[in-house]
Amino acid sequence: MKAESIVIQRPERQSAAQKLMFAIVTVAAWVFWVFLWLPLVTLGAWAFGLHDAWLQLHVLDREEDSGNLRIVLGCAMASAAVFAAWSMYNYKRFAGRQKRRGNAPVDVVETARSIGATTDDALRMQSHRRVVVRVADDGFMSLDDAR
């Protein structure tokens, strides 16, 4: 069995159930990957003093109804909403569009005219791998040597 036969080459032929299943598996894999990094993130947070900030904002401020924590969580939720809205806007704007346009072919005569050379010289430049070109004081080019 070839490896190419396992991978789905035509995603438009997938059913909605297959797409949903692949999405669930992908989200589960990302959650597991983040879960594996959690101890290192916790260590970094403690190193940068976030544990002390948590104590000051939440644990030691229980009597005052933990207003500071609500402010921090509100700012975090607002930031998440702004970034989610921005990403959805960009998705709606750019999804499914070709990002780069192909280049139009350029005729040899047009190329020769733009570089200030004759059509014969442009054809010889195009057919050789290396050429030596001399540029005159008036800006026109001439082919010196073609190899």
Q: Per residue in 37-49, pLDDT tens? A: 988 888 887 777 7
Q: What is the CA radius of gyration of the chain?
A: 31
CB atoms within 10 A of CB 122: 21
CB atoms within 10 A of CB 146: 14
pLDDT per residue as tens digits for the range 122-132: 888 888 888 88
Contacts by 70-75, CB closer than 8 A, 24 or more apart: none
Residue located via tokens 């939440």 = 58
Widest pairwise Cα distance in the chain? 90
Average pLDDT over every residue of 13-33: 90
Asked whether residue 85 carries a pLDDT value surpassing 90, the answer given is: yes
- Res. 18 pLDDT band, cuts 50 70 90: confident
Average pLDDT over every residue of 6-34: 84
pTM of the entire predicted model: 0.31
Average pLDDT over every residue of 17-23: 89
Q: Is 141 exposed, middle or buried (0-12, 13-18, 19+ CB in 10 A)?
A: middle
Average pLDDT over the chain, rounded to whole?
80
What is the rounded CA–CA span in Å between residue 69 and residue 74? 8
Lowest mean per-residue pLDDT among 63-67, 102-106, 129-133: 63-67
Average pLDDT over every residue of 54-80: 73
For residue 94, what are its two tokens?
A: 């750019």
Query: Quick one: DSSP state of residue 13?
Result: G
119 and 110 in contact (C-beta within 8 Å)? Answer: no
Per domain, the residue ranges of the chain are 7-66, 108-146
Query: Quick one: DSSP state of residue 128?
Result: S
Average pLDDT over every residue of 1-26: 76
pLDDT per residue as tens digits for the range 49-63: 776 766 766 666 555
Residue type present at position 59: V
The pLDDT of residue 33 is 93
